[in-house]
Amino acid sequence: MKKKVLLIGPLFNISGYSDHARLIADALYSRSDLFDVYLLSTQWAQASSDSSYVDKYVESLVKTQTLLEESQKNGTPLGQLFDCSFQVRPPNEFEQITNYDIGVTAALETTAAPQEWITQCNMMRKILVVSNHAKQNLKNARHSQTGEVINTPIEVIPFYNTITESTEPFAAYDNIKTSTNFLTISQLAPRKNFYNLLKWFVEEFKNDEDVGLIVKLHHMNNCTMDFYHVRDKIKSILHENNLQDKKCKIHFIHGSLSEQEIKSMYQKDFIKAYVTTTHGEGFGVPMFNAVCSDIPVVAPSWSGHMDYLSAPFTNETSGKSKVKNLFLKTKYEIGPVKEKHLMHGLITKECNWCYVDESSFKKNLRSVLSGEKLHQKNAKVLGKHIREKFSKEKVFQMYEDVVSQVPQTTQPIQTFNIEVDKMFDAISGNNS
């Protein structure tokens, strides 16, 4: 008998949580002989919607709605309907739904999770995260008064490589004339530290006419108003630092990209490195895509991306092999998150993250050019290793193993905290 699996997550948004929800849906779909999959789509914060996935998941969405309608009509306890649930969301939104609830989260990009998460994490039978950093973040959570910690087992299941060779041109690159370019994919959120990245880059290359920074950037979403907001923010950063007369180029890209365009974006010889000054990453999908595309990476050696920036490396002279970091490491210090960047119940005063060293970052930018052949060689070694280690087949098998451990429902439970009306609204896209 197939196990009935309920997946709750933002299937139709543009965000890391949305990518994660779709990954799990696809993994479960791949074993339709073992799992009967039900989907419930939610909204993630103020992220832009992406309706391109509706057709792909519509059958399961309708099936879920039908089941919920029937259960409401017949008075069937909802928790009896599913063997387990996957809940792709921040831990403060975890709910007890079935006999076996699995929380899926990016945790936080800081040193510790807020104590407000502990109780709800302990409602789960298992918690899945995408990196060892995220796992440690949850393990570091401790209630200041009771001493309570997260006791639920935490397992790491990463993203998988989706980058394949593309021969399709990327229209956004048509007008780029600079032969040496750096790529960053970011947003105007404090954690990404884009302000310093732009400032330091332009300061370093302000007299270099043939050097460009390709910026795929948004603030809240990919609407037209957001485009103007971000464009004006870039201009204001340059003006504020008296850099508006720079000779290097800033190539600004905004808006939603198809899967094909994302693949094409990374596959251009004039991209010499992917760069970031992030305060921390849960995983860092854009950086991961760069690694899978054999692009050298400039990044601080801290947080979730460290899971995929090293590989076994054989010394050509000695023949000895060892695990080696194969990226340009930017120095950093760990320090408290600034008060203005704290978020109630999320990023609290106990949280620390990394602060990138300016001189180290600038030095690495120059090193990309002076040591181009070496960095490209290392990037190819790293890319080959990571594409094999983080393959679709291996990651999907991890999810299969998780569900295989779930016992099939033998008796109903009394707790089901999700409001049915809200579930219907989520399915229909009515999230107002």
Please write the tens of the pLDDT for every residue from 335-385.
999 999 998 878 988 899 999 999 999 999 999 999 999 999 999 999 999
* Residue 76 φ then ψ, to 5°: -75, 130
Domains and CATH numbers, the chain: 3-160+392-428 (3.40.50), 171-389 (3.40.50.2000)
pTM, 2 dp: 0.90
Question: 3-state DSSP call for residue 192?
Answer: helix
CA distance 296 to 275: 9
Residue 119 buriedness (CB in 10 A; 0-12 / 13-18 / 19+): middle
User: What are the tens digits of pLDDT across the range 142-199?
Assistant: 998 899 999 999 999 999 999 887 778 899 999 999 999 999 999 999 999 999 999 9
Query: Torsion angle, CA of 53/55/61/62, rounded to 10 degrees?
Result: 160
pLDDT at residue 426 above 50?
A: no
Instruction: Give 419's pLDDT tier (boundaries 50, 70, 90).
Output: very low
**Which residues make Cβ contacts (< 8 Å) with residue 262, sequence separation at least 6?**
289
Average pLDDT, the chain: 90
Predicted confidence at residue 410, as pLDDT, reads 53
Cβ–Cβ under 8 Å, residues 159 and 395: yes
Question: 3-state DSSP call for residue 310?
Answer: strand
CA distance 298 to 279: 13
CA distance 400 to 29: 10
